[in-house]
Amino acid sequence: TMLIVSTDHGFLLGEHGWMGKNRMPLYHDISNLPLFVFDPRNKDMQSKRSDTLVQTIDIAPTILDFFNIEAPKDMLGRTYAYWEHASRDGILFGLHGGHINVFDGRYVYMRAPVDPDDKNLFNYTLMPTHIYSLFTPEELQDMELVDPLSFTKNCKVLKIRALGPSHNTYQHKAGDFLFDLAPDPGQTKNLANKEPELKERLLSLMTRLIQEHDGPQELFIRYGLK
């Protein structure tokens, strides 16, 4: 039996002056998740810790691999077997319309839209529902059916302009953040305006990862990416 224990997000209880999640930047308290894996095929890894960059998208291919099922080619996660031998050079995470975040294992860069009121924000879906409600007629009036994305299995999808970022977030108005977690694990010192070369390196990493994930072109405009 394989056992995997994890969760979807953390929760702030006053840290950084915030309560909850979503509205504020995705500090490590929220985004750094617990992950415990027991794989009976690899007992050498029992009770060991790993510095490998892993995301929740890696859980599905790991389970498929355990049952000797090949993961679909458009599944971007990596199996547990891969974690042991190699690490990503960076990972993306974020909230729709808010910060785009990139983490390389030490530095985390949170990129806000160049213009917080920019309208280059869309939903790509075949099920136009929000978490608590249906899309409104206003949202659906200029929707269009567009070509498939790399992960939609050759299915066209609806492109629907978003009226605003998800979850009433404040992230898109908060500006950029850059933290060095080695000396500053509490993320109290924002280096976004103090380390231009580091910021540019992380921005380049972010851009490449977005391209690998087939990010839409308007995303690059909204966030000032090249």
CB atoms within 10 A of CB 61: 21
The pLDDT, as a whole number, for residue 42 is: 81
For domain 3-116+169-222, give its CATH number from 3.40.720.10, 3.40.50.1220, 3.40.50.300, 1.10.357.10: 3.40.720.10
CA atoms of 93 and 50, how far apart (whole Å): 20
With a cut of 80, say whether residue 147 has pLDDT above it. Answer: yes
25 pLDDT higher than 80: yes
Q: What is the pLDDT of residues 2-24, one digit of tens each?
A: 999 999 999 999 999 999 998 89
Q: What is the pLDDT of residues 151-165, one digit of tens each?
A: 999 999 999 998 877
Confidence band, pLDDT 50/70/90 cuts, at residue 167: low
Find the range with the poorest average confidence among 66-80, 134-148, 160-174. 160-174
Rounded to a whole number of angstroms, the distance between the first and last alpha carbons of the chain is 46
Q: What is the DSSP track for 110-168?
A: EEPPSSTT----EEEESS-B-SSSBPPHHHHTT-EEEPPPTTSTT--EEEEE-SS-GGG
- The reported pLDDT for the residue numbered 86 is 66
What is the average pLDDT score of the chain? 92
Residue-wise pLDDT tens digits, 34-70:
999 998 888 777 788 888 899 999 999 999 999 999 9
Q: How many CA atoms lie within 13 A of 46 on its CB side?
A: 8
What residue segments make up the domains of the chain, in order of their start? 3-116+169-222, 122-163
Q: Does the structure show a pLDDT above 80 at 137? A: yes
The answer to whether residues 200 and 185 touch, using CB atoms and an 8 Å cutoff, is no
